Amino acid sequence: MSGTGHTVKSYEEEMQSLNDNLVMMGSLTESQMADAMSAVIKVDKESVDKIVKSDGKINELRSIIDNQITTVLVKRAPMAVDLRITISTMKISHDLERIGDLAKSVAKKVKPLPVDLPDELTASLRRLGDLVQKQLKDVLDAYLNKSKEKAIEIWRKDEQVDDLTNLAMNEVATYLQKDKKNLEMATHLLFVTKNIERAGDHITNIAESLYYLIEGEYLEGARPKGKPVESE
């Protein structure tokens, strides 16, 4: 983004380290998300503890990045692109941490689920999970490549996430209507669905922060929202 490096080498190294740590945090979050989704779909109760524990690594990275940002602010008084990188990194790491937390919450919900989860319940949920994972992968790629177009694309796809969320929740609601004794299971599934949607929101936040980092301006207009489901 900015051809020649900083005259002061240590400044250059600090910014590079910030970048690397964020990329690492992104990877970790990505795998957490994938693991959590897989655990839900397969109702794999053994993997839950591992997922919960791994969240600690993401939080640790967040701490490290916070510290690095504080140091850069006080040492370097960053200007222009450096300033935007610093601010955006802070915001993105916050969003990644939240995504990690959401993944952990999703995983924790696997334990109370019945092993024989019917497929029709999880169809849309699976599609939602795939979409959100793809969003996450895309936004991390966009960050690596500092791609403005990709950021906008991801930002727009939030609409799809909303639509799929509504679809999934509809499915659960429909299932519940048929068989009222599965209220507990339905609640858990709804919870999981909501969490994934919120993860999607955070990913959209990341896309916005990325756009600001690149362009120095905020994405205009309201976030495209999907149509709310009509209650029956």
Partner 1 sequence: MELNNSKIKIKTKNLNVYYGAKQALFDINLDINQKEVTALIGPSGCGKSTFIRCINRMNDVIDICKVEGSIQLDGNEINEKKVDVVTLREKVGMVFQKPNPFPKSIYENIAYGPTIHGVAENKDKMDEIVENSLKKAALWEEVKDRLNEPGTSLSGGQQQRLCIARALSVSPEVILMDEPCSALDPIATAKIEELIDDLKKSYTIVIVTHSMAQAVRVSQKTGFFHLGKIIEVDSTEKIFKNPDKKMTQDYITGRFG
Shortest CB 72 distance to partner 1, Å: 12
Interface with partner 1 includes 4 (CB under 8 A)? yes
Q: Give the residue, chosen from 48, 55, 84, 104, that forms a contact with partner 1 under the rule CB under 8 A.
A: 84
Measured N-to-C along each axis, helices 183-215 and 9-42 cross at an angle, to the nearest 10 degrees, of 160
CA distance 103 to 54: 10
Please, which residue, 39 or 219, has the CB nearer to partner 1?
A: 219
Interface size with partner 1, residues (CB under 8 A): 19
151, amino acid identity? A
Q: Which tokens sit at 14?
A: 């600090």
Using rule CB under 8 A, residue 115 touches partner 1: no
Residue 212 Cβ vs partner 1, minimum distance, rounded to whole Å: 10
From candidates 74, 77, 115, 222, binder to partner 1 by CB under 8 A? 77
Q: What percentage of the chain's residues is helix, strand, coil (to nearest 5)?
A: 80, 0, 20
Of 18-26, 75-83, 95-103, 108-116, which segment contacts partner 1 by CB under 8 A? 75-83
Report d(CA 37, CA 137) in Å as an integer.
14
Instruction: Indicate the residue among 81 and 167 with the shorter CB distance to partner 1.
Output: 81
What single string gives the DSSP state of each residue in 9-38? HHHHHHHHHHHHHHHHHHHHHHHHHHHHHH
Phi-psi map region of 225: left, alpha, beta (phi>0 left; psi -120 to 50 alpha): beta
Q: Which two tokens stand for residue 152?
A: 């906008």
Q: Show Cβ contacts of residue 15 under 8 Å, excluding neighbours closer than 6 positions.
A: 6, 72, 82, 85
Amino acid at 87: I
Q: Which two tokens stand for residue 4?
A: 């020649």
Check binding of 221 to partner 1 (CB under 8 A): no
Nearest CB to partner 1, comparing residues 12 and 49: 12
- Residue 10 binds partner 1 (CB under 8 A): no
Q: Which of 38, 44, 45, 82 binds partner 1 (CB under 8 A)?
A: 82
CB of 55 to partner 1, least distance (A): 35
Residue 74 in contact with partner 1, rule: CB under 8 A? no
Interaction between residue 2 and partner 1 (CB under 8 A):
yes
| Binding of partner 1 by 6 (CB under 8 A) | yes
Of 46, 116, 119, 217, the residue at the interface with partner 1 (CB under 8 A) is 217
Give contact residues for partner 1 (rule: CB under 8 A).
2-8, 11, 77-84, 215-217
